[in-house]
Structure 1
Amino acid sequence: MAVPGSKAELLSAIATSFDKLMQDCERVPPERARELSMTGHVAGSVISPADLVSYLIGWNELVLKWLDRDDRGETVDFPETGFQWNQLGALAQKFYRDHHALDWPKLLERLSVAQAGLIHAVAARSEEELYGRLWYGKWTKGRMIHFNSASPYANARGRLRRWLKERT
């Protein structure tokens, strides 16, 4: 899928990649969702499908936090308070811990809620706000949203499809 360059393309990319991901998530047997058998986000680590979804929830909710802070005129602490860009593995581990108590259906529900929040947040913004000016470094707000929603959905779907092929 091409990198979105407009609000309409971003909305479509988020919706399309999310829908495809959820179709594959529905194929995961709930009793196997916590099976540690997938290559993790940190070199040499192993995660479960539930951890993969937790990672997506974490990033989606983080983007919503960024947008909320920006809307209120507050400083956005990229990527997250207490983490630098070179500590994304540790941030992934935090996301896994944050959602470890949720069962598979609740994880999927929480991811759906986060994705709906992103769709709403993008829809509420103008083309100019999303793509007309830089927001973080050399990136527009639309590109930062894409980096942390549609793009990871597609990546997660590929990982999940490989897992399903190997284990079901």
Structure 2
Amino acid sequence: MILRPRMRSRRLRDRFGPEYDRTVQQAQNRRIAEQDLTDREKRHDELRLRDLSEEETRRYEAAWAQVQAQFVDDPAAALDAADRLVAQAMTDRGYPSESYEQQLADLSVDHARPLSRFRTAHDIAARAERGGVSTEDMRTAIVDYHELFVDLVDADRSGQTRPQH
């Protein structure tokens, strides 16, 4: 079924939220942006994604609690641990780890809402590796990572329902 352009735009805007606006802004035109988003959906449909088991969810939540506790004594190490934990959750859910840009594209289909905050957190973590990031910036990054972390790890808590592939 071919959707009229207006209906297609509305459907994509509803699905991708702020990622729709970001993609349109960065593309040469709306048609190209919407084709990119549609291509992301097609690729996403081919991924073998899965929800985590209750046991895995509990382990992840315990690991996140350790990240938060570690932040008090060593914010930089906690930030690094948060980055690695989110990456591991992506992998365990079935998202490929080809490249950061591809991860963003794949995540945008089901996790568009926390994606801009994930970008911010990732950028802060990259700057932290080179030094010169304040403790407050690291705290912001931890909070931003946590939003995607919750969305990935606990579908019930995040309000998402995801099909099993």
Q: TM-score range by the shorter chain?
A: 0.3 to 0.5
Q: Which has the higher contact order (CA 8 A, sep 6+)?
A: 1
Higher Rg of the two aligned structures: 2
Q: In proportion to residue count, which structure has more strand?
A: 1
Q: In proportion to residue count, which structure has more helix?
A: 2
TM-score normalised by the chain length of structure 2: 0.39
TM-score normalised by the chain length of structure 1: 0.38
